[in-house]
Amino acid sequence: MTADQVTVARVGAEAAESVLEVVREAFGARPVLDPPADASAETVESVRVRLAHHGGLLASLDGRPVGALVLDPVGDTVFLRRFGVVPGAQGRGVARDLVTTALRSARQQGAADVAVVAREELPETVRFWEAQGFEVVANHSPYVELRRSLAVGDVGQDVPDAEAMRALGAEVARRLRAGDLVLLVGDLGAGKTTFTQGLGEGLGVRGPVTSPTFVIARVHPSEVGGVPLVHVDAYRLGGLEELDDLDLDASLDEAVTVVEWGEGIAEGLAESRLEVRIGRGDAADDESRTVSVTSVGPRWDADPW
Ligand SMILES: Nc1ncnc2c1ncn2[C@@H]1O[C@H](COP(=O)(O)OP(=O)(O)OP(=O)(O)O)[C@@H](O)[C@H]1O
Ligand SMILES: [Mg+2]
């Protein structure tokens, strides 16, 4: 299976025509609203003015523009405006890639949170944003405002179920590259392996990613010409030397390495690391987890988590 090649680029005023085309096609396919969506009044000139301020994102599928949004910072909040994906390109992760890239650029700009305004007549749109970790913060009928905090490392993110944990892993994977180390911290059954499954999906490696209980480490080669995933269970590992002794079929410099139970052992593997802490509530029937991601070391200096 060849994956569709979705690319998301940061664009300025020069992309006004492409952005408008996408916005028109995307909004044209939606139900007619009363009052009409503000986007329907956009012209090349008005889009150019918006993009000239703080830019936007243009998603392409095999080179064709299929998704767009405009970034609009207001104080500490970056509003995502004119978000749309053309009908023919839906269901291929374009919307999610746009959101992930928008979150990252807002984070880089030092924003505290990201917001969108959706129409209450379009509950599926509201649900889409909720699935992306946004929460409804205001309802000025017919407009619903949703926000997502960028302070993941500080407050922890609520992860309601295993599927959401895999989605979070996939999101984290997008920011990883060869040589990166991810340390997973959490009690028995916290969801470390589940998170790693998402990481593997996001990286496009061969699965299945399972608990490496009977092997200390497993190498998952990429299926998309990317980096392999090295999945280590340090639970029964005495120390780093043992990991070296494993003679893995991949160099850690050329792989993403994720270590369960690695706290106190795996830090020495690389100067920089991402620490993913997974906590759970006391109630036995409570499936939700709290996850915080913290970056440590120079690798993340320019792009902290
Ligand atoms: N919100 C959630 N996040 C992650 N897993 C969840 C969640 N809710 C339920 N689960 C379930 O909890 C279990 C977590 O198991 P998993 O093997 O991922 O944990 P682990 O931290 O790797 O455990 P171990 O310490 O044994 O390696 C899975 O069966 C998963 O489906
Ligand atoms: Mg595990």
Query: Each residue of 160-205: pLDDT tens digit?
Result: 899 999 999 999 998 999 999 999 988 888 999 999 999 999 999 9
Confidence of residue 1 (pLDDT cuts 50, 70, 90): very low
Q: Say if residue 177 is in the same domain as residue 216.
A: yes
The residue whose CA has the least distance to atom 30 of ligand 1 is 162
Which domain does 36 fall in, by range? Answer: 6-150
Ligand with minimal distance to 188 CA? 1
Mutate to test the pocket of ligand 1, among 159, 166, 193 (most ligand atoms within 8 A of CB): 193
Mutate to test the pocket of ligand 1, among 165, 194, 213, 218 (most ligand atoms within 8 A of CB): 194
What pLDDT does 240 receive? Answer: 65
Residue 164 lies in a domain: yes
Q: Say if residue 259 is in the same domain as residue 196.
A: yes
CA of 191 relative to ligand 1 center, distance in Å:
3
Q: Are 192 and 278 in contact (CB under 8 A)?
A: yes
What pLDDT does 244 receive? Answer: 67
Q: Say if residue 179 is in the same domain as residue 277.
A: yes
Ligand 1 contact, 262 CB (< 6 A): no
Give the domain-ending residue among 150, 171, 196: 150
Confidence of residue 270 (pLDDT cuts 50, 70, 90): confident
Q: How far apart are the first and last CA of the chain?
A: 32
What pLDDT does 153 receive? Answer: 47
Q: Say if residue 181 is in the same domain as residue 294.
A: yes
Ligand 1 contact, 157 CB (< 6 A): no
What pLDDT does 194 receive? Answer: 97
* CATH number, domain with residue 60: 3.40.630.30
What pLDDT does 25 receive? Answer: 95
Calculate Rg over the CA atoms of the chain.
21
DSSP 114-157: EEEEEETT-HHHHHHHHHTT-EEEEEETTEEEEEEES-HHHH-E
What pLDDT does 151 receive? Answer: 63
Q: Say if residue 122 is in the same domain as residue 228.
A: no
Does position 298 have pLDDT exceeding 80, yes or no? yes
Tally the residues of the chain.
305
Q: Say if residue 39 is in the same domain as residue 172.
A: no
* CATH number, domain with residue 218: 3.40.50.300
Does position 120 have pLDDT exceeding 80, yes or no? yes
Ligand 1 contact, 290 CB (< 6 A): no
Question: What domain count does the chain have?
Answer: 2
Residue 202 lies in a domain: yes
C-alpha to C-alpha distance for 250 and 256, rounded to whole angstroms: 10
CA of 146 relative to ligand 1 center, distance in Å:
29
C-alpha to C-alpha distance for 257 and 176, rounded to whole angstroms: 10
Ligand 1 contact, 284 CB (< 6 A): no
Does position 2 have pLDDT exceeding 50, yes or no? no
DSSP 246-298: T--SS-GGGSEEEEET-TTTGGGG-S-EEEEEEEE-SSTT---EEEEEEEESG
* Residue-wise pLDDT tens digits, 121-168: 999 999 888 877 788 999 999 999 999 887 644 446 789 899 999 999
Amino acid at 245: D
Average pLDDT, the chain: 87
CA of 234 relative to ligand 2 center, distance in Å:
10
What pLDDT does 247 receive? Answer: 65
What pLDDT does 207 receive? Answer: 87
Residue 236 DSSP one-character state: G
